[in-house]
Amino acid sequence: VGEAEGDLILAYCRLLLDRPGFAEALGARARAFVATEHRLEIAALGYARFLAHLYGWPALRRLRERPLWDLEEPERQRPGGRGQGAGDTPPDPAPRTPDLVGAAARALAELGLDEGNADLLQIVAQRIGDVN
């Protein structure tokens, strides 16, 4: 960025202050862009594609039509909601067992996967085989 960067930013700020209708329209378009282009599923897909490219994984394909969970924040995590007290010990996210297959099976069951997700379960089994 050149020497005139500060002057350019100042000129844009003055434009937005002098033309509130323009500023309002620009803000509305920016919010609409973020609402359509920065959704969780788009970000997750982009990240997954990046990792697939980085590690040479096969092309990604959708395995389920609907998400495995509700994106609504649980009551216990909402500000002002019931949560852990200051003295409470947070749950340990790591499994206490060295059994990778058992830990993966429990996690997948908690996500709602069952026999109807045979394709996805096969992929997970293959990945566990790659790790072991």
pLDDT in tens, the chain (132 residues): 688 898 999 999 999 999 999 999 999 999 999 888 888 888 888 899 999 999 999 888 777 777 776 666 555 554 555 444 455 555 555 544 457 778 788 888 888 888 888 888 888 888 887 775
Domain coordinates in residue numbering, the chain: 1-57, 95-132
Both tokens of 99, joined, read 């059994």
CB-based burial, 22-52: b 16+ in 10 Å, e otherwise? eeeeeeeeeeeeeeeeeeeeeeeeeeeeeee
Both tokens of 58, joined, read 């096969």
Distance CA 93, CA 106 (A): 13
Query: What per-residue confidence (pLDDT) applies to 60?
Result: 80
Q: Which residues contact 120 (CB under 8 A, 6 or more apart)?
A: 63, 64, 113
Question: Do 95 and 106 meet the contact criterion of CB atoms below 8 Å apart?
Answer: yes
Residues 98, 101, 106, 111: is their CA dihedral positive or negative?
A: positive
